[in-house]
Structure 1
């Protein structure tokens, strides 16, 4: 199955930027959902350099961390995207 954005009639569209790239989503979608729908399966690296994205999907594992509007360590699987959010990916080595 490939990730995609499925929009129903009446869904409110939203736009976020991820590392400067504009992405579209719909109201109620998580940041991870927006990233997955755009085809991004990984957006950070673990200590070994292995790609990380959504693992557990419920906010337990910390593999999906991003920076949202300057706030670090936001779990992309738990945070609902908001129109205008500026999201940057991060790696474990960043301080």
Structure 2
């Protein structure tokens, strides 16, 4: 199986978004602090905007790069993984309330 190569920007954006979101979720589930619930809400809004901007940038890079270098295309797919993760985290928080 071939190793997938991602652009640095896309991979870092995915990791930071995923790890921060997971940290907020676990912190909320362990402490049940309303502050973390509100912080998580604002984090999701901010992360969605940043991820969307990076996603659009990666799509433009992928469209402009006609060579075999598909780093940006793979990064787009990686960034799209954050969407179902965020939806799953939303349902976990709703069930815990």
TM > 0.5 fold call = no
Rg comparison, structure with higher value: 2
Shorter-chain TM-score: what band?
under 0.3
Higher strand share: 1
TM-score (norm 1): 0.22
Higher helix share: 2
TM-score (norm 2): 0.22
